Amino acid sequence: MMRDLSRHVAHYTPLFGIFVCGILGFWLYSYDRKFQMAVAVAVAVSYVVWGAVHHYLHKDLYWEVLFEYVMFAAVGLVVLASAIFWA
Amino acid sequence: MNILVHLLFPHQTNNHKAKIIHPSGLSLVLCFVLVFQLLVRGVGIANPQVLGFAANISPSEVIRLTNEKRAQNGLAPVNYNAALSAAAQAKASHMINLSYWAHIAPDGTQPWKFFGDAGYKYKYAGENLARDFSNPSSAVDAWMASSSHRENLLSSKYKDIGVAVIDGQLSGVETTIIVQMFGTRAGDVLPTQPVAVNTQAPPTTATAKPTARSTQRPQATVQPSATPTQVPILAQVQPTATATPIGTPRVLISPFNVTRGASSVIVSVLLIVLIVDMVIISRRRIARVSGRSFAHFAFFAMILAVIIIMKAGRII
C-alpha cells in the first residue's frame, strides 16, 4: 500500500490538496454555512473526478469503480450536509 | 459472527471486500444517515422542548466582550443604552413571533424600524444577529471572524449598544437568539481617532481605523457636524438593567451534537474497516477491481476532521 502511494505521488498530491482545501474552507469560514456547503459539494465532486482520472490513467476504470467513488462521495456529502444543517 | 465478518472484513463471502464498503453497503449507510436525520428532525418538531440549543448568555457579558474587543483595537467602548436594548428585545421577539431568521422580516420590516419604535433617533445604526451559541464569547468570536459583523463591532461611528438575548423556537428547534444593536444618536459627536490601545493586545492595522460602511447600516440622516476635541472617558459602562430575561437554564439535547456524534461513529467505523481492508488485501496480495482504499480512507479522514472542527452557531 505504501509502495503504491510512493509510486504515485503525482496522483495523490492533488488528492491531498483537495482535502487540505476542504479542511481549510471549513476552518476559515466556520460560520458561513452556504460557503461550507459549497466546499463540501466541491470536495465530493473533486474526489469522484480524481478517482475517475486516477483509474483511467491506470487503465482500470470501470463503471463499478466509478460508482464506488460516487457512493463514497455521496455518504461523505450527506454526513457533512447533515452536520452543516444543524450547526 | 459470520454476518459481522461478511460486513466488516475482506472475505471469500464478500468477494474479498467488506460488504459495508461495497456500493450496496454504502447505499445502506447512506439510507441510515438520511433516516437518522429525518428522525432527529421529527423528534424536534414533535417535541420542541427536547431538541435545541441550551445557552446561558447574559446581555451584559456580550456588551463586556464587545468592549473588550474594541479596547484591544484601540477604540472607545460603546455604552449601554436602554432604548437600544428595548429595540433589540423587540427585534428578537419579532423574529420568534414571525418565525424568521433575517435582518429584514418576511413582512418587509427593516431593523431600523425597531430603533425608531424604541425612541432612538439614530445618525448611525447597525445590527448583528447570532443564534445557537452556547456561550457569549463564541458568539462574539464568530462576529469578529466575519468582516461585516466585525466592521459593526469595531466601528468608531457607534457610541451606544443594546443587546437582547431571548429564548424561543425557530424552525421547530428551541434556540437562543442574540440581537446586538449599535447606534449613535443624531446630534452626538464622535471621536475622530481611536483613543485607547490595550498594551497587552496590540491593535492590528486592519482594524485600527475601521470604515463606517456596513451592509446593515442605514443611510446616515445627519453628517458628523464637528470634530470633537475632548477625549471620551474610557471607563467601561456596565448596563444598569438586564436587557431581557433569558429564562431558567434549560436541559436540551443539541441536534448538532447528536448529529455530530452519530456521524463521527459512522465515519470512524468506515475508517477502521478501510484500514483493515488495506492491511489484509496488501498482506494477501489479492488483486481485485476496486477503488483505492487508501483514497477512500483519506477522504473519510478529511470528513472526520471537518466534523471535529465544526462549531454550532449561526450569525447574520
d(CA B269, CA B290): 20
pLDDT in tens, B35-44: 999 998 888 7
Q: What is the mean pLDDT of chain A?
A: 90
Residue B227 has pLDDT above 50, yes or no: no
Higher per-residue pLDDT: B186 or B277: B277
**pLDDT band of B194, cuts 50, 70, 90:** very low
Average pLDDT over residues A41-70: 95
d(CA B161, CA B77): 9
Higher per-residue pLDDT: B203 or B111: B111
Residue B11 has pLDDT above 90, yes or no: no
d(CA A30, CA A22): 12
Higher per-residue pLDDT: B198 or B146: B146
Strand partners, B51: B253
- Name the range with the highest mean pLDDT among B114-118, B204-208, B267-271: B267-271
Closest by Cβ to B312, choosing from A12, A69, A87: A87
Contact B76, B195 (CB under 8 A): yes
User: What pLDDT is stored for residue B222 in this prediction?
Assistant: 34
Q: Which residues of B274-310 are buried (b: 16+ CB within 10 A; e: fewer)?
A: beebbebbeeeeeeeebbbbbbbbbbbebbbbbbeeb
d(CA B37, CA B262): 10
Residues of B in contact with A72 (CB under 8 A): 26, 291, 296, 299-300
pLDDT in tens, B39-68: 988 887 777 677 777 677 889 999 999 999
- Name the range with the highest mean pLDDT among B6-10, B302-306, B312-316: B302-306
**pLDDT band of B285, cuts 50, 70, 90:** confident
**Angle, vertex CA B214, rays to CA B115 and CA B315, nearest 5:** 80
Higher per-residue pLDDT: B13 or B160: B160
Q: Which residues of A3-14 are buried (b: 16+ CB within 10 A; e: fewer)?
A: eeeeebeebbee
Residues of A in contact with B283 (CB under 8 A): none
Residue bearing cell 418538531: B45
Q: Give CA separation, A32 vs A19, A28, A35, B145, B247, in Å.
A: 19, 9, 5, 10, 29
Cβ-based neighbours of B245, under 8 Å, separated by 6 or more: none
Asked if the C-beta of A48 comes within 8 angstroms of chain B's C-beta atoms, the answer is no
User: pTM, whole model, 2 decimals?
Assistant: 0.72
Looking at chain B, the whole-number percentage of residues with pLDDT higher than 70 is 79
**pLDDT band of A80, cuts 50, 70, 90:** very high
Interface of B with A in 144-203 (CB under 8 A): 145-146
User: What pLDDT is stored for residue B4 in this prediction?
Assistant: 86
d(CA B150, CA B144): 5
Nearest CA in chain A to B287: A60
Asked if the C-beta of B234 comes within 8 angstroms of chain A's C-beta atoms, the answer is no
Closest CA to B155 of B124, B129, B118, B185: B124
**pLDDT band of B244, cuts 50, 70, 90:** very low
ipTM above 0.85, yes or no: yes
Higher per-residue pLDDT: B239 or B88: B88
CB pairs under 8 A between A and B: 126
User: What pLDDT is stored for residue B170 in this prediction?
Assistant: 81
Residue A85's identity, in one-letter code, is F
Closest CA to A11 of B103, B312, B295: B295
Q: How much is the CA Rg of chain B, to the nearest whole Å?
A: 26
Tell me the nearest-neighbour CA distance from B290 into chain A, angstroms.
5
Asked if the C-beta of B305 comes within 8 angstroms of chain A's C-beta atoms, the answer is yes
Question: Which cell numbers in the block locate residue B262?
Answer: 452519530
Residue bearing cell 500500500: A1
Residue B168 has pLDDT above 60, yes or no: yes
Contact B218, B112 (CB under 8 A): yes
Q: What is the mean pLDDT of chain B?
A: 79
**pLDDT band of B190, cuts 50, 70, 90:** low
Higher per-residue pLDDT: B258 or B238: B258
Residue B219 has pLDDT above 80, yes or no: no
Question: Which cell numbers in the block locate residue B206?
Answer: 486592519
Nearest CA in chain B to A21: B302
Looking at chain B, the whole-number percentage of residues with pLDDT higher than 90 is 45
